[in-house]
Structure 1
Amino acid sequence: MEKRLTRSELVFSMGFLFMLVVAVATFFYGVKIGAARTEAKYEPMKLLQSDVAGNAVAYQQQDLVSFYHTVYLPNREFQLQWFNVMDKLRSGQATDPVSSFKELAKLAKKQYSAASSSSVPTSSPLLNQSQLNVLKSLKLFEQAASRFASTADNKPSKELVVEIGLEAYYRKAVQHNLLAQQQYYASMLKWGATVEAAIPSEFNTPASESIKDWNSQPLLVKNKIIADQLVELQQLVNFYPHDLSTRVDELIASGEASRLKIKSVPALIELLLGTKAVRAGDFASGKTMLYDQELLPQLPFFFPENQ
């Protein structure tokens, strides 16, 4: 026969169940409160981390240096090999153009791989754009070199040089290479503006920069003007923009520009390029005399004495 609970037992059971429910509810409420307090405790840290990631300082010197070694230098190394082959073709010293172009195509592919593996900070968009143009240029140089590797056999060297200058892949490769250089030097200007208030973060080169205005500019601006002019002229050269800046300043300082009655910087640039009066290393030769007090990022091509 089923035994019924007494009144006292029933009250005790109900009380026990009530206390159990309260205990469980209290436990989960405590967990919720604890979680909320923990979240509140770490929320400032999360916000700080988010703020740091979202407001990373753009165009830091370390970014410029890293870009130099991982993107600019692979491109520069390819350029020097390209110029070497072109010089041999012009002088008639190229004994095997087909092999030379095959090697150039391989090198362009290799340098593309090196430059594409570099991680450029998104906080510095000009550096990102420069990297993209370097990659486009190297890819186009590879295509141009491959094309001439298949057509250069038995062609006179001088004829090849003319054909290369007219070839579509080559011309686009030059265009992207010059844009990459322009963007890199514009990035240096951005960096300079964070260090010295007198340096503008941007500079739009006028159609005809006067010598008077040029003389008042810091070297970082002068270099940007040169990079802009090389884009305008679509002239890929085997020296740095600051080598050309140095020759312009030397021509002005010597009084030669005045004697020739040249009043604009573009005219001086065209004269120097047309007479092949600029050499790689001109900046290093004139740096102490002309630019001893100039602000420059710690890039190897600005401080060859440290290499």
Structure 2
Amino acid sequence: MEKRLTRTAMFFSVGFVFMVACAAAAFFFGLKLGTEKAEAAYEKEQLESEAAQVSTPYQQQDLVSFYHTVFLPYREFQSEWQKAINKLAQGQQSEAVSMLDGLSDLASRKRNDAASFDMQKSPLLGQAQANIINSLKQFEKASDKAVSLSKSAEGQQLIAAIGKEESYKSAVSNALAAQQSYYAAMMKWGASVDPEIPSDYTSTSIMEISQWKALPLIVKNKLMADQLNKRKQLMSFYPQDLTSRVDEFIKNGQQSSMKVRSVSAIVDLLINTKAVRYGDFIENKAALYDNEMLPQLPFYYQEIVN
């Protein structure tokens, strides 16, 4: 009897150990399987997140970063350049030449600033950055050339001579191309936020006023950047300043009284009569644009001293 009990006890002991071993194996197998599933889910989430970032390269933070690190340094240089040219126009030759003499170094410093942040993950912003850098490089050459030209010309004659220089024309062309790309990037950002906004829009050769009036503000601004790029003229105002003057012109019914039938004709009239000023957008924003979506960029929401 005692011997039989011992065998039974041994049987139960072995069975118990076997069950514990199986339970432990099942636990660790389940743990491993759960870990693998969790890791797979995490990797999938990461891949989806990365894919989303690749598919939407025009995020508001990218636009803001470009503004502060690339666009603003260029605008600061442009402001100083235009001050020097204005001095020439006013007959203040000595002071203007002194300013131009320092602009070569300023262009170099601003070029380094503009190159300090990599914007290449967003194609349009990458193009704009490259064009800004090239523009400042050409302005560096144009500044030196302007000082040299000042030895034999002055006033309007000197301004005209500077305008004919290839370095100056290249600087302006690159700057306007950069501006066009920046505003196109804003429109792509807008399209990612609001499906009613197109990701790309090119004006017809003759845009009717009725077509223009139906467009979102962010698209209008891009079209005005296109217009400025075509003209290859360095202006102190922003595309949105031109947009606001076009809209004000239409709102006041001036297109009817002056028999102007297209947006391009209005733009020509406004630019040729110097009717657009830096700050027009900020001044007219409350009256003309209610609930229009724009990225949170300083030049849309606060007046900047130019």
TM-score interval, smaller chain: 0.7 to 0.9
Aligned pair 1:71/2:63, yes or no?
no
What SS class does the counterpart of residue 302 from structure 1 fall into?
A: helix
CA pair 306-225 structure 1, distance change in 2 beyond 3 A:
closer
Aligned Cα RMSD in Å? 2.2
- Cα distance between partner residues in 2 of 1:120 and 1:286: 32
User: Aligned AA for 1:246?
Assistant: S
- Cα distance between partner residues in 1 of 2:37 and 2:97: 69
Which of 25, 50, 53 is the equivalent residue of 2:50? 53
Which residue pairs with 2:278 in the alignment? 280
Which of 205, 209, 212 is the equivalent residue of 2:210? 212
**Residue-by-residue CA offset, 1:137-165 (whole Å, 9 max, x unaligned):** 01011111112223323522221101111
Give the TM-score, by structure 1 length.
0.83
- Cα distance between partner residues in 2 of 1:93 and 1:269: 32
CA pair 305-230 structure 1, distance change in 2 beyond 3 A:
closer
What SS class does the counterpart of residue 300 from structure 2 fall into?
A: coil
CA pair 100-306 structure 1, distance change in 2 beyond 3 A:
closer
* Equivalent residues of 2:89, 2:156 under 8 A apart: yes
Which consecutive unaligned segments of at least 5 residues does structure 2 have? 1-31
CA pair 54-198 structure 1, distance change in 2 beyond 3 A:
closer
How is 1:1-307 mapped onto 2 (pairs within 5 angstroms)? Answer: 42=39, 44-46=41-43, 48-56=45-53, 57-120=56-119, 122=121, 124-304=122-302
CA pair 294-110 structure 1, distance change in 2 beyond 3 A:
same
Deviates more, 1:94-103 or 1:268-277: 94-103
* Equivalent residues of 2:138, 2:170 under 8 A apart: yes
Q: How far did 1:234 drift?
A: 1.1
Deviates more, 1:160-169 or 1:53-62: 53-62
Which consecutive unaligned segments of at least 5 residues does structure 1 have? 1-34
Identity %: 45
Deviates more, 1:232-241 or 1:36-45: 36-45
User: Aligned AA for 1:150?
Assistant: S
- Cα distance between partner residues in 2 of 1:181 and 1:195: 22
- Cα distance between partner residues in 1 of 2:50 and 2:196: 29
Give the TM-score, by structure 2 length.
0.83
What SS class does the counterpart of residue 146 from structure 2 fall into?
A: helix
User: Aligned AA for 2:128?
Assistant: S
